[in-house]
Amino acid sequence: MADRLEGKTITAGGAVFGKLKALGIDYVFANSGTDFPPIIEGLIEAGQTGLDLPTPVTVPHEHVAVGMAHGYYQLSGKVQSVMLHTNVGLSNGATGTINAWCDQIPMLIMSGRTPVMEGGRFGARTVPIGWGQEMFDQTALLREVTKWDYELRFPEQIADLFDRAWAISTSTPTGPVYLSLPREVLCEQTPPDGLQTPSRQAPVLPVASGRDLKPAADLLAGAKHPLIISQRGAGSEEAFAALGAFVNDWALPLSHYWANKLSLPLSHPMQVGCAPEDLLGEADVILVINSLAPWWPDKVQLRDDVAVIQLGPDPLFSRTPIRNFQADVTLAGETADTLLALIGEMNTRPRDEGALTRRRQRISTQSAENRRKVVDRAERGNGGPMSKDWVSLCLGRAIRGRKASVFHELGCPLEPLDLDSHNSYFQEPHSGGLGWGLPAALGAQLADRDRLIFATMGDGSYMFANPTACHMVAEAHELPVITLVLNNEEWGAVRHSVVGTYKDGLATKANEVPLTSLRPSPDFTRTAEASRAYTETVTEGDALPAALDRAITVATQEKRQVLLNIAIARA
Q: Which is nearer to ligand TPP, 339 or 513 (CB)?
A: 513
Shortest gap between Cβ of 458 and ligand TPP (angstroms)? 2
> For residue 435, which amino acid is it?
G
Q: Which of 203, 432, 522, 545 binds ligand TPP (CB under 6 A)?
A: 432
| Contact present, 418 and 396 (Cβ < 8 Å) | yes
Residue nearest ligand TPP (C-beta atom): 458
Q: Which of 176, 312, 492, 541 binds ligand TPP (CB under 6 A)?
A: 492
CA distance 100 to 97: 5
| Strand 189-190, strand 452-458: pairing | unpaired
Contact segment (CB under 6 A) with ligand TPP among 49-57, 193-201, 281-289, 490-498 equals 490-498
Q: Return the SS3 of 170.
A: coil
* Rounded (5°) CA angle 292-148-294: 0
Partner touching 499 among Mg ion, ligand TPP, none, CB below 5 to 8 Å by kind: none
Does residue 345 touch ligand TPP according to CB under 6 A?
Answer: no
Partner touching 149 among ligand TPP, Mg ion, none, CB below 5 to 8 Å by kind: none
Shortest gap between Cβ of 409 and ligand TPP (angstroms)? 7
CA distance 89 to 35: 11
Does residue 488 touch Mg ion according to CB under 5 A?
Answer: yes
> For residue 46, which amino acid is it?
A
Number of residues that bind ligand TPP (CB under 6 A): 17
* Rounded (5°) CA angle 306-312-317: 85
Secondary structure in 3-state letters for 82-106: EEECHHHHHHHCHHHHHHHHHCCCC
Number of residues that bind Mg ion (CB under 5 A): 5
| Contact present, 229 and 286 (Cβ < 8 Å) | yes
Partner touching 434 among Mg ion, ligand TPP, none, CB below 5 to 8 Å by kind: ligand TPP
Q: Which is nearer to Mg ion, 211 or 519 (CB)?
A: 519
Q: Which is nearer to ligand TPP, 457 or 479 (CB)?
A: 457
Does residue 459 touch ligand TPP according to CB under 6 A?
Answer: yes
Shortest gap between Cβ of 569 and Mg ion (angstroms)? 11
Q: Is 169 exposed, middle or buried (0-12, 13-18, 19+ CB in 10 A)?
A: buried
**Nearest by Cα to 30 from 101, 106, 112, 103:** 112
Does residue 236 touch Mg ion according to CB under 5 A?
Answer: no
CA distance 393 to 389: 6
Shortest gap between Cβ of 134 and ligand TPP (angstroms)? 27
Partner touching 493 among Mg ion, ligand TPP, none, CB below 5 to 8 Å by kind: ligand TPP
Contact segment (CB under 6 A) with ligand TPP among 157-165, 365-373, 468-476, 484-492 equals 484-492
DSSP string of 431-500, one letter each residue: T--SS-HHHHHHHHHHH-TTSEEEEEEEHHHHHHT-HHHHHHHHHHTT---EEEEEE-SB-HHHHHHHHH
Site for ligand TPP, residues 33 to 92, rule: CB under 6 A: none
Please enumerate in sequence order all residues whose Cβ is within 8 A of that of 272, keeping only pairs 6 or more positions apart, or say none.
253, 254, 255, 279, 363, 366, 367, 370
Q: Is the dihedral of CA 320, 326, 331, 334 positive or negative?
A: negative
Shortest gap between Cβ of 522 and ligand TPP (angstroms)? 12
Q: Which is nearer to ligand TPP, 256 or 388 (CB)?
A: 388
Shortest gap between Cβ of 461 and Mg ion (angstroms)? 7
Partner touching 219 among Mg ion, ligand TPP, none, CB below 5 to 8 Å by kind: none
> For residue 151, which amino acid is it?
E
Site for Mg ion, residues 452 to 471, rule: CB under 5 A: 458-460
Does residue 493 touch ligand TPP according to CB under 6 A?
Answer: yes
Does residue 95 touch ligand TPP according to CB under 6 A?
Answer: yes
Q: Which is nearer to ligand TPP, 101 or 464 (CB)?
A: 464
CA distance 194 to 111: 22
Does residue 460 touch ligand TPP according to CB under 6 A?
Answer: yes
CA distance 562 to 456: 12
CA distance 540 to 556: 25
CA distance 32 to 12: 16
Q: Which is nearer to ligand TPP, 141 or 264 (CB)?
A: 141
Does residue 433 touch ligand TPP according to CB under 6 A?
Answer: yes
CA distance 93 to 178: 12
Site for ligand TPP, residues 154 to 213, rule: CB under 6 A: none
Q: Return the SS3 of 398.
A: helix
Shortest gap between Cβ of 491 and ligand TPP (angstroms)? 3
Torsional class of 122: left (φ above 0), alpha (ψ -120 to 50), beta (otherwise):
beta
Helix and strand counts by DSSP (H, E) for the chain: 20, 19
Shortest gap between Cβ of 270 and ligand TPP (angstroms)? 30
Binding mask 95-114 for Mg ion (x = CB under 5 A): --------------------
Q: Which of 246, 250, 464, 524 binds ligand TPP (CB under 6 A)?
A: 464
Shortest gap between Cβ of 489 and ligand TPP (angstroms)? 8
DSSP structure class, residue 509: T
Q: Return the SS3 of 321.
A: coil
Shortest gap between Cβ of 143 and ligand TPP (angstroms)? 20
Partner touching 464 among Mg ion, ligand TPP, none, CB below 5 to 8 Å by kind: ligand TPP
Q: How far is CA 368 from the centre of its chain?
A: 29
Backbone angles phi, psi at 534, to 5 degrees: -85, 130
Residue numbers at the binding site for Mg ion (CB under 5 A): 458-460, 488, 492
Residue numbers at the binding site for ligand TPP (CB under 6 A): 95, 410, 432-434, 457-461, 464, 488, 490-494
